[in-house]
Amino acid sequence: MVTYTRLVDDDRVFKALADPTRRHLLDRLFERDGRTLTELESELEMTRFGVMKHLRLLEEAGLVVARRQGREKLHFRNPVPIRLIHDRWIDKFTEHRVAALVDLKSELEESA
Amino acid sequence: MTTATAQTTQVYQIFIKATPEQIWEAITTPEFTARYFHGARIQVTADHYQSNGPNGETWGDEPVFEFDAPRRLVHQWRSLYDPDLVAEEPSRVTWEIADQDDGTCLLTVTHDRLEGALKTAARVAGPGWMGVLSSLKTLLETGEPLT
């Protein structure tokens, strides 16, 4: 099991998501993907070092992928780990009912 | 809740417990792709990418830019399976397989050059590629596609 731990280990994903700053970084990438550290840093009241540390944890959890493009290092959101957690507990039959409730919630809350 | 605009470069990464050769075979041979890629029968050779639907209809008929088995495959993408997307400009898909020396591989799929294919970008984003990759992982690791 040891060698396979990294794959099946959702702990890193949950730990990475447990922090509001890291969720904020993912929100920023969700709005627009492929950003540099400098761009991400400019939207946070935090040192460059702090943002780097959070990005590294997101990368280790597989939630962010850094790719070099020319002279820049761009950060992309990798949605797959969250999808795998979704698939673990929500199958395609349950999904329809869940989606219906989520839609209902958004509709009610938007019109409120 | 913010709504994401269609991203013109999309990156998907997944660990799969399989050899690079098994993953390569799974992404380049129609018998495999039919089981996890929306039923598409995809045949990839060094210079051509052919995708056919279950009834033989053409879903993809594209040039291959790089073919380095079992590590790296780069091919053109057009969404011929959807009349709404056919007219859009071609984009590019890159598959990278990195052996992790622990019985697993890190598969990275990058779909980019989508600037002229924003509807395709929106369609393949999220559940599109993720569904394909999570089903590919399940197929390779359990022998059964995702139900």
**ipTM for the complex shown:** 0.75
Instruction: Test A76 with B147 for CB contact under 8 angstroms.
Output: no
Does residue B5 lie within any of the structural domains? Answer: no
Measure A89 CA to nearest chain B CA, in Å.
13
Look up the pTM and report it: 0.84
Does residue B147 lie within any of the structural domains? Answer: no
% chain A with pLDDT above 70 = 91
Q: pLDDT at residue A9 above 70?
A: no
Query: What's the distance, Cα to Cα, between the start and end of chain B in Å?
Result: 29
Q: Long-range contacts of range A47-56, CB-CB < 8 Å, 24 or more positions apart?
A: A50/A21, A51/A25, A54/A19, A54/A21, A54/A22, A54/A25, A55/A25
| 3-state secondary structure at position B46 | coil
CATH code for position B113: 3.30.530.20
Conformational region of residue B101, where left means phi above 0, alpha means psi within -120 to 50, and beta covers everything else: left
Q: How many CB atoms within 10 Å of residue A86? A: 16
Q: Which residue carries 């950003």 as its tokens?
A: A35
Q: pLDDT at residue A7 above 60?
A: no
Q: Map A25-76 to HEC letters.
A: HHHHHHHCCCECHHHHHHCCCCCHHHHHHHHHHHHHCCCEEEEEECCEEEEE
How confident is the model at residue B34, as a pLDDT? 95
Reduced to 3 DSSP states, what percent helix, strand and coil does chain A have, rounded to the nearest 5? 65, 10, 25
Does residue B3 lie within any of the structural domains? Answer: no
Confidence of residue A8 (pLDDT cuts 50, 70, 90): very low
Does residue B113 lie within any of the structural domains? Answer: yes
Instruction: Test B103 with A6 for CB contact under 8 angstroms.
Output: no
Q: Which residue has the higher pLDDT, A44 or B91?
A: B91
Tell me the per-residue pLDDT of A61-91, one tens digit each, with 9 for 90 and over: 999 999 998 899 999 999 999 888 888 888 7
Does residue B127 lie within any of the structural domains? Answer: yes
Amino acid at A106: S
- B13 chain-A contacts, CB cut-off 8 A: 62, 65, 78, 80
| 3-state secondary structure at position A21 | helix
Q: Does any CB of chain A come closer than 8 Å to the CB of residue B104?
A: yes
Does residue B45 lie within any of the structural domains? Answer: yes
Does residue B18 lie within any of the structural domains? Answer: yes
**Which residues of chain A from 43 to 82 reach within 8 Å of chain B, CB to CB?**
62, 65, 67, 76-80
Looking at the structure of chain B, the number of domains it has is 1
| 3-state secondary structure at position A94 | helix
From the list A80, A87, A106, the residue facing B1 with the nearest CB is A106
Does residue B74 lie within any of the structural domains? Answer: yes
B52 lies in which domain range?
A: 10-142
Whole-number Å distance between alpha carbons of B5 and B118:
9
- Residues of chain B falling short of pLDDT 50: 1-3
| 3-state secondary structure at position B12 | strand
